[in-house]
Structure 1
Amino acid sequence: MIVIGYMLVCLVFGTTFLAIKVGMDAAAPPFFSAGMRFFIAGLILFLWSVWRGKASFKLLMHKEMLINGALLTFGTFSTLYWAEQYVASGVAAILSATGPLMILLLQVIVMKQRSSRRAVLGCLIGFTGVILLVLPSASIVASMLAIIGCIAILVGELAYSSGALYAQNVIQRHRDSSPIALNAVQMIYGGLLLFVLSGLTEHVHVDVVFTREAVGSLLYLTIVGSMVGHSLFYWLVAKTNPVFPSTWLYVSPPIALLVGVLFYQEPFTWVMGLGVVTIITGTVIVNWESLRQLDRRGKKRREISLLADRLSNS
């Protein structure tokens, strides 16, 4: 289940950068669009969790839910949505790939945790692969807004990395609550913060918000990107560690590249192919220990299953 969940996260998140770009190119207000996406998705998932008895309304009263929403949703996506008005989606994917590296740096520098050289090397290799993959086709406009946008995405990734680490503690404190419910509450708070920012900085016009492109982008990002993708990500953090799920950021550019080649006739060069191989290599190196543990668990389950079959046949 962990491997399947990871593959789905990579597939879903690999398409969200382009979906955000479609909405921003349709002149949808970035903070309001992001707020709608996360508040609606979070509210639906939370009410569903309450209905199934997996959460209670008391969960909304915990301050760590607000902190988590401020980091994982508000901090990450306020900057990303705003930046994609001026930065190409491919460039945004490159910069977002700094997430796992920032997590490792925070663990080593701030939290004083030891990290293996293999994990650090894997992150560096993976990030190099992202550059090789996307850079040949990314059009970077040397304008001040583009530069500020790139910086904004990096700031957002720092918030994302802090949130991923903090989420691990939140999950431990609320073991009785479903990871999906925890994710839903932080999306609700993140969406509310985005609405506040939108009210202070944006003028929302109905005719712009409800264009075909803007509505299509919002529906896809709300249902597939947030309700499915972020719930799976939160579940993976609970089942593994903060670094393993975050390596989807290395796999998303190949997915975006494939979509571009198949549906938009975008070019594919040998440099991009080298980038794909490098990304996969870096991802495997980062997750080497986790993959070995999964392999051992799989072998153990198969041994138990074989033993049970022998006992039942004897």
Structure 2
Amino acid sequence: MDASKLKWFYLVLLSLIWGSSFILIDKAMNGLSSIQVGALRIVITAIFLFSVGLNKVKLIKRSQWKWIFWTAMAGSLFPVFLFAIAQEQLDSSVASMLNSLTPLNTVVFGVLFFGVVVTKRQVLGVLIGLVGALVLVFAGADFNPSQNYWFSIFVLLATIGYGLNVNIIKKYLNDVNALAIVTGNFVIIIVPGILILAYTGFFAEVMESKEMQLAMGYITILSLFGTAIAKVIYSRLVQISSPVFASSVTYTMPVVAIFWGLLFGERLSVYQVLGGIIILTGVYLVNKRVKTTTK
């Protein structure tokens, strides 16, 4: 399959996988704390990746490891905790719609740090996306007063990390094997993941708690598909397309996430749906062709 067709196949596949990730996080938090969810996700993902990709790590040049480190921080370590913390208060469908800010942040940080040149239409798209996020947050706070919508800030921070991650991969790691990039990320973060998990008392409690064991099953599914496999596909997608195209997986992710959320009893107001549509309108405008300048 040529690259022009393959990128669309990857985009649809990632939408299905990542769109289902939010409900898995939500379910896992019935038996685990948000910090345990994040740390366990890192550890289990690392085990999967090391079993198939550890030999690929040698393909990473010494000079490239600093960029592997930053992609590990921005794209893996912090987001897994930030999303879990956010979903202590936010429904999975709301978190998925806020995640649609990723392409906007991809452009913003591309302009600020990576020499991306944008059009007026893309600037308008960023502003529209921010308006949509505000509508979504304030409408949600009114519709679900029992939820603390200040936790939306954690999703925003995660999308900033994703925006930085995709730009770094495209600019500095575009010629590195995708599996090598992702495995290298987890070589860096597995030790912090284990230490954090141990600190929470997980290893002392898991054998005595059926809720924790069930939650661990959800995290295992999430780690294998939503993190290990999906991150390899995503890194490859960035390499064969563009940062903005790759981040446009957030177009269809919310549709999948909302389906799962409604199926499991979550509620959305009309204004929240409107906020999501406004965000996606902004993402559409941002996703117009961008040019990069060589620094």
Specify if TM > 0.5.
Answer: yes
Tell me, in whole angstroms, the C-alpha distance in 2 between the residues paired with 1:128 and 1:217. 34
Report the 3-state secondary structure (helix = DSSP H, G, I; strand = E; otherwise coil) of the residue aligned with 1:25. coil
- Matched ranges for 1:217-232 at <5 A: 217-232=218-233
Q: Provide the residue aligned with 1:301 in structure 2.
A: none
- Following superposition, the deviation at residue 246 of structure 1 comes to 1.2
Q: Alpha carbons of 1:31 and 1:56: their partners in 2 closer, same or farther (altered >3 Å)?
A: closer
Q: Provide the residue aligned with 1:164 in structure 2.
A: 166
Q: Alpha carbons of 1:186 and 1:235: their partners in 2 closer, same or farther (altered >3 Å)?
A: same
Tell me, in whole angstroms, the C-alpha distance in 2 between the residues paired with 1:142 and 1:273. 17
Q: Provide the residue aligned with 2:289 in structure 1.
A: 289
User: Which consecutive residues of structure 2, in runs of 5 or more, have no partner in the other structure?
Assistant: 1-5, 291-295
Tell me, in whole angstroms, the C-alpha distance in 1 between the residues paired with 2:98 and 2:271. 19
Report the 3-state secondary structure (helix = DSSP H, G, I; strand = E; otherwise coil) of the residue aligned with 1:182. helix
**Corresponding position: 1:179 with 2:178:** yes
- Following superposition, the deviation at residue 256 of structure 1 comes to 1.5
- Following superposition, the deviation at residue 80 of structure 1 comes to 1.7
- Following superposition, the deviation at residue 65 of structure 1 comes to 2.0
The 10-residue stretch of structure 1 (125-134 or 75-84) with the greater mean CA deviation from structure 2: 125-134
Q: Provide the residue aligned with 1:189 in structure 2.
A: 188
Q: Alpha carbons of 1:140 and 1:222: their partners in 2 closer, same or farther (altered >3 Å)?
A: farther
TM-score (ref. length: structure 1): 0.73
- Following superposition, the deviation at residue 23 of structure 1 comes to 0.8
- Following superposition, the deviation at residue 197 of structure 1 comes to 3.6
Q: Provide the residue aligned with 1:299 in structure 2.
A: none
Q: Provide the residue aligned with 1:311 in structure 2.
A: none
Letter aligned with residue 24 of structure 2: A
Tell me, in whole angstroms, the C-alpha distance in 1 between the residues paired with 2:249 and 2:135. 17
Letter aligned with residue 248 of structure 2: T
Tell me, in whole angstroms, the C-alpha distance in 1 between the residues paired with 2:58 and 2:120. 43
**Corresponding position: 1:46 with 2:14:** no
Letter aligned with residue 9 of structure 1: L
- Following superposition, the deviation at residue 19 of structure 1 comes to 0.7
TM-score (ref. length: structure 2): 0.77
Instruction: Find 1:83's aligned residue among 78, 82, 86.
Output: 86
Tell me, in whole angstroms, the C-alpha distance in 2 between the residues paired with 1:223 and 1:57. 23
Flag the structure with larger Rg.
1
Q: Provide the residue aligned with 1:152 in structure 2.
A: 154
Q: Alpha carbons of 1:92 and 1:192: their partners in 2 closer, same or farther (altered >3 Å)?
A: farther
Q: Provide the residue aligned with 1:264 in structure 2.
A: 264
Q: Alpha carbons of 1:283 and 1:75: their partners in 2 closer, same or farther (altered >3 Å)?
A: same
Q: Provide the residue aligned with 1:242 in structure 2.
A: 243
Instruction: Find 1:32's aligned residue among 9, 28, 39.
Output: 39
Q: Provide the residue aligned with 2:70 in structure 1.
A: 67
Instruction: Find 1:12's aligned residue among 7, 17, 31.
Output: 17
The 10-residue stretch of structure 1 (55-64 or 231-240) with the greater mean CA deviation from structure 2: 55-64
Task: Give per-residue Cα distances to partners, 1:149-181, cap 9 Å, x unaligned.
Answer: 333332232222222211223323xx2x42122
The 10-residue stretch of structure 1 (186-195 or 123-132) with the greater mean CA deviation from structure 2: 123-132
Q: Provide the residue aligned with 1:310 in structure 2.
A: none
- Following superposition, the deviation at residue 123 of structure 1 comes to 4.4
Tell me, in whole angstroms, the C-alpha distance in 2 between the residues paired with 1:60 and 1:39. 20
Q: Alpha carbons of 1:66 and 1:202: their partners in 2 closer, same or farther (altered >3 Å)?
A: same
Percent of aligned pairs with the same residue?
20
Tell me, in whole angstroms, the C-alpha distance in 2 between the residues paired with 1:15 and 1:277. 19
RMSD between superposed Cα atoms in Å: 3.3
Letter aligned with residue 74 of structure 1: L
Q: Is the 8 Å Cα contact of residues 87 and 150 (structure 1) preserved in structure 2?
A: yes
Tell me, in whole angstroms, the C-alpha distance in 1 between the residues paired with 2:238 and 2:145. 33
Report the 3-state secondary structure (helix = DSSP H, G, I; strand = E; otherwise coil) of the residue aligned with 1:247. helix
Tell me, in whole angstroms, the C-alpha distance in 2 between the residues paired with 1:252 and 1:197. 29
Q: Is the 8 Å Cα contact of residues 130 and 279 (structure 1) preserved in structure 2?
A: yes
Tell me, in whole angstroms, the C-alpha distance in 2 between the residues paired with 1:56 and 1:266. 42
Letter aligned with residue 152 of structure 2: C
Q: Provide the residue aligned with 1:252 in structure 2.
A: 253
Letter aligned with residue 256 of structure 2: I
Q: Alpha carbons of 1:249 and 1:132: their partners in 2 closer, same or farther (altered >3 Å)?
A: farther
